[in-house]
Structure 1
Amino acid sequence: MALGNKRTTLLVAMAALILQPSAASRVGGGLARAIADPGNGDGDGGIPQLPPQPRECRPWLARMMPCAGFLTNNSTVYAPDATCCDGFGSMFTLDTVTCLCHVVDGDIGKLLPAPMSRMRMVELFSVCGHAGRVDLLAAACSLMDGVPPIDLPSPSPLMPSPSARRLGD
């Protein structure tokens, strides 16, 4: 299987793990039909095409910042509020599914004001109404090639050309 097909298959599997049942059946059913009938004419061996994934995840992860008190075991926050669950729910789309890897592997902790509680992160899935298995999602993330970074790398500063340095001497 080509690398692009492997990545797409993992994305579809991740989507089936985390999307609501009705959406998951559409994605999973489409995958099953494509594999059963690989002659679908798209030239990639039967794997359905998913939307392009984001180049960086910070804009999507920022939507989860209302969850910071809950995720960091803040002693005054016993349950996530509606804005937290709304932000968390926005991560469950086909075009941002890979950014959830930063949630399950704990990288989102880099954006939080205190260390993230793994137990609270696992609770967040069920409390906010997402029945996906976190362990299966984490396993799929560990197999992924090319999970978008939280932030794009900073561009390196431009070095002056050798001729420009001679002019300033």
Structure 2
Amino acid sequence: MRQETLLKRLQEKSKEIMGEGKHFHDFAHVIGVYRNVEKLLEHEQGNRLILLTAALFHDVKRNYQSHGAEGAKYVKELLKLIPEFPQDLIDSVVKIIDSHDKEQKTQNEKLFYDADKMDAFNELATARSFMMYSKEGLSLEEACFKYLDLIDNFFNKLHTDTAKKIIKKEYEKTKQFALKLVKRYER
């Protein structure tokens, strides 16, 4: 099976799974990360099939506290059921999913981390963040300050200069918006 055909099949499966009661990190986020992987791979070295597969399934267990570890277990079993998926790549996909919110050591893990965090700098991600803060019980004021810290943290922890260059304008726009929110609470 050609890689593009396999990726289309994996996208369909991801859309099915990520549509099942996902409130924050849904299929729109998954596709954002997928596109970011593609952008990064125009300038950086990495395994395309491994990274794009990880993008499609990295948040399947986002409702769990340890969603990376839980997602990794789930995806390992899922990919074993797809005979067209190269079985020798499953462990690499699983490792990326497990490590995407932990320490990243390999080039693929670092690229994936960057692609995931790059999706935080858009309007939908802003809405997602505030929905999550509301669920956590934060006041609007607390959420504004937390959001400003979040976007600075995400940008500053990007591993590659490529990611920083690609996302810089969106980061600056998002930061200006966050600063306007915070300014409303300055006394």
Whether the TM-score (by the shorter chain) exceeds 0.5 is no
Larger RCO, structure (CA 8 Å, separation 6 or more): 1
Between Structure 1 and Structure 2, which shows a larger proportion of helix residues?
A: 2
Q: Which has the larger radius of gyration?
A: 1
